[in-house]
Homo-oligomer: A and B are copies of this chain.
């Protein structure tokens, strides 16, 4: 079945074992070109019994084709991104393309490094989170020589294609729902945002809409690191102590929102009567909390699917060449923590 060789096997080994030319062996192994059933069987038997694994490096070099799609995201720990990846896989599994994931930890320099590294494998496509990149990264993307899809966000200028939601609009929509429900003393909690552009845009959309209604955020707090659930709890306690008359808390993500929710429930606060609550993302993980937190889903899985579909379609298609922008619409979920107007 196998012999413990040190040198990896090559086409030549299969060729010799089967008495068929390398070229024909190659054809069989790739199901390309016409090969008689007889030789096909011989070759497959030989390949299997030797335990031959083709060398894609050589194959890629010779064919100038790599079936890899570079996927670059900020972090795998964030819940959000595995869902995007799932969407990408949904679509790519039906093709010969394979996603390869790299993460940037929200650091532009690391993004640059990861991007460079991945491009040096000459992928068939790039899917990258966000529209904000260093100049060097943008240059690389522009030169990549393959389709590039920027995802999650549409508020900005894509290099090539783009699939996402408008976070500004999402912030605005949430503000509108909150105002309509009659809340007026609003607190905000979120991550420190210098590098989380999407959170920043939501915040901007949110505050701008409040401002138009003549309302300012009454209190706010930012965190970084640590367990989000615990942070949400702590920040909420601190903020309610500092500003006891708040009637609404808007969290930049569901995890800290859940922490706040648990804290307030224990404190016996009437939700959503005395205080309303909302998060962002629609994290399914949290189904099962005592109350369903109001939230807005970010269409994560669909974003992944659409992005992958764009890459897949462009493989065969001629150079399409218009910047394709797909804006998805997040839906507001009132849950049990935001009064309906």
Binding site for B on A (CB under 8 A): 1-2, 4-8, 51, 53-58, 60-61, 66, 76-77, 82-83, 85-86, 98, 100-101, 116-117, 119-122, 139-140, 142-143, 145, 227-233, 255, 258-259, 262, 266, 284-290
User: What are 26 A-B residue pairs whose CB atoms fall within 8 Å in the complex?
Assistant: A1-B139, A2-B139, A4-B142, A4-B143, A53-B119, A53-B120, A53-B140, A54-B120, A55-B122, A56-B121, A56-B122, A57-B61, A57-B66, A61-B61, A76-B76, A76-B82, A77-B82, A77-B86, A82-B82, A227-B284, A229-B287, A230-B288, A232-B288, A258-B288, A262-B289, A266-B290
A287 touches B4 (CB 8 A): no
Contact A288 B8 (CB under 8 A): no
Q: How far is the CB of A293 from chain B (nearest CB, A)?
A: 12
A18 to chain B, nearest CB (A): 19
Residues of B within 8 A of A232 (CB): 288
Cα A24 to Cα B92 with chains together (Å): 40
Copies of this chain in the oligomer? 2
Residues of B within 8 A of A4 (CB): 142-143
Smallest Cβ distance from A144 to chain B, in angstroms? Answer: 9
